[in-house]
Amino acid sequence: MNTPPLLLAAAILLWGWLGDTLAVAVPVAFVLEGARLAKGRVELTTAQQFRVADLSTLLAIAAGLAFAASAGFPRAAVLFFQWLPVALLPLALMQAWGAEREIDLRVLFWSMRRQALREPARLNLGLPYLALWIVAASAAPGRGPAFDAGLAVLVAWALWSVRPDRRRTAAWAGLVTIAGSLGYVGAIGLHDLQLWLEGAAPEWLGGGGTKVSPYRGVTDIGRLGELKMSDAIVLRVEAEASLKTPLLLHQASYVEYEGTNWIARGGTFAAVPAGPGGPWRLGEGEAERYITIQERAAGGDPVLSLPPGAVVVSGAGLRSLKANPLGAVQAAADPGFVEYRIGIDPRAADRRSPTPVDLRLPQREKAMIERVARAWGLAGLAPAAAVEAVRSRFVSGFRYSTFQEMAAAGRTPLADFLERTQAGHCEHFATATTLLLRAAGVPARYASGYSLQEWSDFERAWIARERHSHAWSQAWVDGRWVDVDSTPPSWFELEGGERPAWSAIADAWSWMRFRLDRWHRGAGATERALAWGAPALLLVAFFLWRMGRRWRPASRAAAAIGQARGEGDYAGSEFARVATRLEAMGHARRPGETSRDWIARLGPAAGDPGAMAALLALHYRHRFDPRGLTALEKSEFSAATDRWLEAASGGRRWHAS
């Protein structure tokens, strides 16, 4: 490695400290830095180097798949970058313990392996690998001021090792301090800008990365063609098998219909008081039974799926809750699977009074809605009677359909549904029910969430798939908000249709991902570190064991080099001793590389440039000048070689590089 001594180890230990992964970081740092003190090297053929690179590639792919299975995106991407340096450890070990200070770029790129290069391109992995550990540390969950301080120290350390000797230390330290301070202030500014954007534009970011936004409900009303959602399992409910279904799990409600979408006007969120992990009290009442819900929040901060009568919520993965007056409850939680326990009181109800907007009809649909309401005889009915009349009419006189035709000329999609096709999906029924009840004088809202109806014998739990997402209406009846689901019950079977043969495999994969994520969240930091790091370390140990037969002590390597070249380039030349020493120091000469090109590539690592230039000049005269060297020149050549070897053995700065 071309990094200063112990710098790479410091970066690795910073990664381990921030991520509670010291059980992995300590042995990795020890093995990599220990190569500097070793008196021998592992000699690998080009084909073996290809295998090492392929091993690192396989480790990286396996890590990516494991993280995607257990955590989902985008959290899987963060975990992948956090553990990528461990996956690439075989490559780093190959260079640190190898006979050469650089690796052939063909090792890294498959596309270059079949190319015949006149001068193979080479790269020292030291600094790129150091940068990778720093990026990995930035992805650790413990990142904060400690990371900023550690980053500043590491960068200053690296810059100190390459500073010009003529520069004053005080001036150098001042410039580095100023640069670090400016970078820190800039990072704080970017963080504050992000917080401002999140606060100033809640409707842009309302869902917190989830599919459901508590601010805006986007419907598929008016979308032409087949509407088909996937079989992917999105949430699981642990409850008794005798649970009464269908059970509506409410996520969000909306009050104003614009175009074909619903808006949550006045749905300002307020914090629900409680400590981290809960319990949070959502309403009055005492919980008589509990259910546990696990759902995937791809972007974090999910809108919770709550059954009727939910009065208390708790969950170790929930940091806080906030709720709006329309019944939406959003949690602060990391991306991935979120698990929470809900206490239910069957007698509890939402008794917050309606507002004038709960009776408002959109101008575009108002005349048509009032016409249909008169035709259905809704005027003058009591709220409960109006609800039953609308529900009965839809269930008996309309049908569920996932296919939408183009609306007749001059009609809106909703008018076409009510007055012509009398066929649509749940969003048609929920929207029409809400507006018809308003026309009858009953305050109503549009609600969305899931309809829980499927029991899994395999998981011993209730499950909801993406196609089980549902919409319904909420009406103000007898001083409380009640759910009104007017979609014909046949919708559930029609949405299921013919399931493909591989659906059972997909369900098993989904269950495995859920179990992995549950374990990952419940395990301690050390357990997680060992689980993710141990396989990589075991493979690396196996690699080292296999490569042990390639190990050659420095003395044997030097003797072999001298023997190989004694009959060739350096036969009878004092420069043979220089070449032997350089090879023993790990500065191998490449195949086809001239002595002059070799020394030029090594630069400071070859010692004093003037002394080395004189040695090379004498060597080339010895080899190519027909007159050879005089006795005096041979004596000078031998003495100069002795001086160079003495300097190489004296621990000068160039020797350590």
Here the tokens at position 304 are 């919770």
Q: Is 233 helix (H, G, I), strand (E, B) or coil?
A: strand
Q: What is the pLDDT of residues 378-415, one digit of tens each?
A: 998 999 999 999 999 999 999 998 877 777 777 888 99
Secondary structure E strands in 106-238: 122-123, 216-218, 225-226, 233-238
Categorize the per-residue pLDDT at 254 as very low, low, confident or very high, splitting at 50, 70 and 90.
Answer: very high
Return the minimum-mean-pLDDT range out of 300-304, 375-379, 433-437: 300-304
Here the tokens at position 430 are 């929920």
Structure confidence at residue 166 (pLDDT): 53
Q: What is the mean pLDDT of residues 306-313?
A: 94
Q: What is the pLDDT of residues 429-458, one digit of tens each?
A: 999 999 999 999 999 999 999 999 998 888
Taking the alpha carbons of 634, 637, 643, 649 in that order, is the dihedral positive or negative? Answer: negative
Secondary structure E strands in 551-638: 551-553
The structure tokens 């070249």 sit at 565
> How far apart (Å, rounded) are the C-alpha atoms in residues 93 and 59?
14
| Spatial contact of 50 and 66, defined as CB atoms under 8 Å apart | no
Here the tokens at position 87 are 């996956």
Structure confidence at residue 3 (pLDDT): 77
Return the minimum-mean-pLDDT range out of 6-15, 207-216, 646-655: 207-216
Q: What is the pLDDT of residues 200-252, one digit of tens each?
A: 443 333 333 345 676 666 666 655 445 566 778 888 999 876 788 889 999 99
Structure confidence at residue 500 (pLDDT): 67
Q: How do the domains of the chain map onto residue ranges?
A: 7-162+523-550, 216-514, 567-656
Strands 270-272 and 225-226 come out as: unpaired
Task: Using a pLDDT cut of 90, give the percent of the chain over it.
Answer: 25
> How far apart (Å, rounded) are the C-alpha atoms in residues 458 and 507?
9
Structure confidence at residue 200 (pLDDT): 43
Q: What is the mean pLDDT of residues 2-14?
A: 85
Return the minimum-mean-pLDDT range out of 170-174, 338-342, 345-349, 474-478: 170-174
The structure tokens 């990286």 sit at 60
Q: Which amino acid appears at position 218 of this protein?
A: V
Q: Which of the pair, 500 or 636, is modelled with greater confidence?
A: 636
Does position 562 have pLDDT exceeding 50, yes or no?
no
Structure confidence at residue 607 (pLDDT): 86
Q: What is the pLDDT of residues 503-546, one digit of tens each?
A: 777 777 777 777 777 666 665 555 666 666 666 667 667 666 66
Q: What is the pLDDT of residues 354-372, one digit of tens each?
A: 999 999 999 999 999 999 9
Mean pLDDT of the chain: 79
Structure confidence at residue 526 (pLDDT): 59
Residue/partner pairs of 267-270 with CB below 8 Å, 24 or more apart: 267/214, 267/215, 267/324, 267/325, 267/326, 267/328, 268/324, 268/325, 269/214, 269/322, 269/323, 269/324, 269/328, 269/330, 270/322, 270/323, 270/324
Listed ranges 55-64, 146-155, 184-193; the one with the highest mean pLDDT:
55-64
Categorize the per-residue pLDDT at 198 as very low, low, confident or very high, splitting at 50, 70 and 90.
Answer: very low
Cβ of 485: how many Cβ atoms within 10 Å? 22
Phi–psi pair at 484, nearest 5 degrees: -125, 105
Does position 655 have pLDDT exceeding 50, yes or no?
no
What Cα–Cα distance (Å) separates residue 52 from each residue in 66, 82, 148, 262, 542? 21, 21, 34, 56, 12
Listed ranges 238-252, 283-297, 437-451, 632-646; the one with the highest mean pLDDT:
437-451
> How far apart (Å, rounded) are the C-alpha atoms in residues 330 and 251?
9
Q: Is 36 helix (H, G, I), strand (E, B) or coil?
A: coil
First to last CA, the chain: 9
Q: What is the mean pLDDT of residues 460-483?
A: 92
> How far apart (Å, rounded) are the C-alpha atoms in residues 97 and 30?
13
